Structure 1
Amino acid sequence: MHGLLAALVATPFVAGVLAAPADRPAHPVFAFQDPEIDESSGLVVRDGLFVTVNDSGDTARVFVVDPATGETVGRTSWDADPIDDEALAPAAHSTDVWVGDIGDNLADRDSITITRVPTGRGELSGAVASYRLEYPDGAHDAETLMVDPVSGQVLIASKGFMGSIYAAPEQLTSGTNELKKVGEAPGIATDGAFFPDGKHLVIRDYDSATFYTYPGLEEVGEMTLPAQQQGEGIAVAPDGKVYVCSEGVESPVLEVAIPDRIRSVLDGDPHHPSAGPRPADDVPATTSHDDDRSPWPWAIGGGALVAIVLVLLRALRPR
């Protein structure tokens, strides 16, 4: 029953992905060559290397990949039995990464877990730290983990028709750390990342990315991402370049070009205090207007179906 319901939930969103524009400015950097990287669901760029993690079903491990070849040059594993690893974020002032065991498709977990692990070339093992987090308003599915590069504070964006951004306590402790809702997130968020200045962040869904100020969380602008098999990863490199990845064996990692109207805000251009919404004619030369289809029909249908499925799930639970 749960498998059928999950399929019903996914259908409208998959349809939305298929309807998205298929040709957007992007530069393929490399493709994962390791067959064990089959469901890349998070991405971090550090010291010229790319770090990724598979989502649910894998063991507790992350992969370090050399973009020159696409080959895995390092792995870190630790003693844990993750429920649903879905995200990565670079730890502040360190080469460590945070791994988010935050997936919760049925929204029935009492708490979620984030784990900090070292990364680099070679085989590494052991976690630096692990913490439990709890939402203040009930369980949520999530695939987006972000870390403020200045303060080190952890943020999570829930994945739903209407998403929310939650902040963890600045000082994490043993036991359960309660998250605090601090803003709204795009619907169906699949990943996010801070920019190096700590003053901006980006959150993606399957076919678009939305940019925000931080900590104000005011929307700067939105751009369409290139079509991918199942786009679930986004990373911002130390030089401000943005990369996206997707699930699938030998899936490519792409560098995406941020529109000038958004980049000017990210760079602090005083003549562009706000990029605002994307103009209707802001379509790359390689994309026809016929391909620029609105996501609203499938989003509305998907949201209604999610609500129905959630009601059914609660009704089917033993009392």
Structure 2
Amino acid sequence: MRGVRSSAAGVPLLLAVVLAAPAGADDGQVPPAGVVPEVLCTPSDPALAELSGLAVLGGRVFATPDAGPDERIVELDSECAVVQRFPDPVDPYDVEDMAAGSDGRLWLADLGDNSRNRQTVALVSLDPESGAGDLYRLRYPDGPQDAETLLVSADGEPVVVTKSLFGPSGIYRPAGARTVTELESPGPTDLERVGTLALGPTETPGGPVPGASSSMITGGAVSEDGTVAAVRTYTDVYLFHAPDRDIVAALLSGPDLRIAVPGEPQGEAVAFTADGDLLTASEVNSDTGEQPPVRIVRGVTDLFVADSPEDAGDEESSTAVLPVVGAVVAAVVVLALAAVVTIRRRGR
């Protein structure tokens, strides 16, 4: 404090240093204490041994496996028991994720391509009332990619994030920013690459790939109001604030918060409830054969002061919860102003 008061010359330098400081190696600040995963329920149906995607639509919870003897979409009750099964409307190749659309449909992400030899991937729509649906093929602009993450914005724009073992993952959307209702069936619709996303590494235990599990992107979800997006790795969930519902812009801006989900042997599923809670799930532990529980992180969207879409461009509207670096910057600005006032008073 004494240094700040004695010289105004040091204030710009100190402010510049703080503004230039990195946000941290974890690419997202840890949320407040108490915001931790709790066990919600544990699936017991063999069809969910390779549980890969979760979605909540109309208060109903849906899950999809990505392989196994029964690859149908299932509806779960509050105890994780299967209450209904939906055959895929088309024969998929490798469904890896699932999203709830504002059009009242589930969108299955047939994006898996471990060998990277598919000329097209696909989205499949599913009406949870009738079981009917359609196929929408997609084509990457830069060759085959492996992906396990689909996010559908509140405005209906589908966003695909690839899964990379080394280096950043690619972010893709339909060319022309088309929504799911504007895709051609069966297509293909060309995708455009709009940027990259790199997450981790972290020290959160879990995942099947030592040293890389905390960086490999395995699933995504968007809150019901469209203002918060979640992208997960095998070990952590990253939250992105999108007050204007622009999911691509939020991803390109980087994560705001990170929630560790330790101990999931192959965590790939994530979804938001209508109340703004976050659900996570994992495939079976291959070493023990035990099915991990579905976990819930309560009040996740409450961590953000969400702007309404009408006020998104208003400079006075509220923003996301400030990360630690942002808080420090604010404090330094206050101290700088106080120092200037003190110096001027002493000069008088």
Instruction: Report the TM-score when normalising by structure 1.
Output: 0.70
The 1:172–1:180 alpha-carbon spacing in structure 2 relative to 1, beyond 3 Å, is same
Deviation of 1:157 after TM superposition, in Å, equals: 0.7
Question: Is residue 2:172 matched to residue 1:166?
Answer: yes
Contact 1:190–1:233, Cα closer than 8 Å, also in 2: yes
2:102 is the counterpart of 1:83:
no
User: What is the match of residue 40 of structure 2?
Assistant: 29
Residues 305, 321 of structure 2: 8 Å contact kept? yes
Q: Are residues 167 and 210 of structure 1, via their aligned partners in 2, closer, same or farther at CA, if it must alter by over 3 Å?
A: same
Question: Is the aligned partner of 1:109 residue 2:118?
Answer: yes
Counterpart-to-counterpart distance in 2, 1:240 and 1:61: 27
Q: Which amino acid aligns with 2:272?
A: V
Could you tell me whether the CA contact under 8 Å between 2:183 and 2:189 is conserved in 1?
Answer: yes
Quick one: distance in 2 between partners of 1:251 and 1:225? 12
Output the CA distance in 2 between the equivalents of 1:24 and 1:58: 36
- How far apart in 2 are the matches of 1:258 and 1:130? 35
1:202 paired residue number? 230
Match of residue 304 from structure 2: 264
Alpha carbons 1:39, 1:246 under 8 Å: kept: yes
Q: How does 1:133-172 map to 2 (within 5 A)?
A: 133-149=138-154, 151-160=155-164, 161=166, 162-168=168-174, 169-170=178-179, 171-172=182-183
Contact 2:306/2:319 (8 A) holds in 1: no
Identify the residue that residue 99 of structure 1 maps to in structure 2. 108
**Matching residue of 1:255:** 296
Q: Which has the higher strand share?
A: 1
1:232 maps to what in 2?
268
Kept in 1, the 8 Å contact 2:50–2:68? The answer is no
- Cα distance in 1 for partners of 2:161, 2:276 equals 21
Query: Residues 208 and 278 of structure 1: is their aligned pair in 2 closer, same or farther, counting only changes over 3 Å?
Result: farther
For these two proteins, the number of residue pairs brought into alignment is 249
Over 3 Å counting, the alpha-carbon distance change for 1:181 and 1:59 in structure 2 is farther
Query: Which of residues 67, 77, 84 is equivalent to 1:74?
Result: 84
Question: Does 2:55 correspond to 1:39?
Answer: no
The runs of 5 or more residues in structure 2 that have no matched partner are 1-33, 200-214, 285-289, 309-315, 327-348
How far apart, CA to CA, are the structure 2 residues paired with 1:57 and 1:43?
17
Measured after TM superposition, the shift of residue 60 of structure 1 is 5.0
Task: Name structure 1 gaps, 5 residues minimum.
Answer: 1-22, 280-319
CA radius of gyration, larger in: 2
Gap change, CA 1:103 and 1:264, over 3 Å in 2: same
For residues 120-152 of structure 1, the C-alpha deviation after alignment (integer angstroms, 9 at most, x for no partner) is: 5xxx64x32110001111111100111112x21
> Separation in 1 of the partners of 2:69 and 2:161?
22
Residues 307 and 318 in structure 2, CA contact (< 8 A), matched pair in contact too = no
Asked whether the equivalents of residues 153 and 226 of structure 2 are also in contact (C-alpha less than 8 Å), the reply is: yes
| Structure 1 residues 231 and 223, CA gap change in structure 2 (3 angstroms) | same
2:150 is aligned with what amino acid? L
Query: Cα offset for 1:165?
Result: 1.5
Shift of 1:100: 1.0
Match of 1:178 in 2: 190
Take 2:170 and 2:324, find their aligned partners in 1: how far apart are those partners? 20
Alpha-carbon shift at residue 211 of structure 1 (Å): 1.8
Cα shift at 1:245: 0.5
Q: Which moved more, 1:172-181 or 1:79-88?
A: 79-88
Shift of 1:271: 6.3
Q: Which residue identity is paired with 1:233?
A: A
Secondary structure of 2:172's aligned partner: strand
Q: 2:277 aligns with which of 227, 241, 259?
A: 241
Q: Structure 2-normalised TM-score? A: 0.65
Aligned CA RMSD, in angstroms, stands at: 2.7
CA shift for structure 1 position 158: 0.4
